[in-house]
Chains A and B, each alone.
Chain A
């Protein structure tokens, strides 16, 4: 018995195609436990992945590939200076 998400790898393929090569410094808003973050993290020079504390949970202390910082923060009050990122990813955020 098992549950397998995105066996075909479509989500990763489409995301990497959109990012088109080296995405530089990336801010991901709505990272949850980092499911999507793991799919592109090694391509970015650094990643700041944020979500509300209740959504990040224990994943913030789990090892991640690449230079990833998991930050408990709200997307409406980002703890970052202006013009800091080359790319912003809204991950399943409404």
Chain B
């Protein structure tokens, strides 16, 4: 984003829209859903990406301040990943490229799901930010 923003603006028609979709600077929360009752299990650490979020925000703020873009709308929503078992959660954890799932959380998920019936649900929640800008 930071380095590609001006190139993106060049490729965009005047009046065109630029959509920025990315996670917020918050960790994913992991919880157990027991038929509507939620048990919080822990967080997946994404803190090392937070400076990148700040840099992207600053690049967009500067583009707006310099009259290259105009901010139009922003919204936040939650992106969920549902898993049926501790094995699913391990697979999900292994697929994450820029976040760290601590060993204690893997162990906790395995521990709390070991004696539960099949109807439990492991859910990871991530807050997302989507924003629309207009090319000036």
| A residues whose Cβ falls under 8 Å from a Cβ of B | 1-8, 10-11, 14-15, 17-19, 23, 27, 29, 36, 74-78, 80-94
> What is the total of A-B residue contacts with beta carbons within 8 Å?
130
Tell me the count of chain B residues lying within 8 A, CB to CB, of chain A.
43
Across the interface, do A8 and B80 meet the contact criterion of CB distance under 8 Å? yes
Q: How far is the CA of A9 from the CA of B13 in the complex (A)?
A: 30
| B residues whose Cβ falls under 8 Å from a Cβ of A | 1-4, 7-14, 16-23, 49, 52-53, 55-56, 73, 75, 77-85, 87-88, 91-92, 128, 130, 132
Across the interface, do B130 and A75 meet the contact criterion of CB distance under 8 Å? no
Q: A7-B82, A86-B16 are in contact. Are A75 and B3 (CB under 8 A)?
A: yes
Across the interface, do A87 and B7 meet the contact criterion of CB distance under 8 Å? no
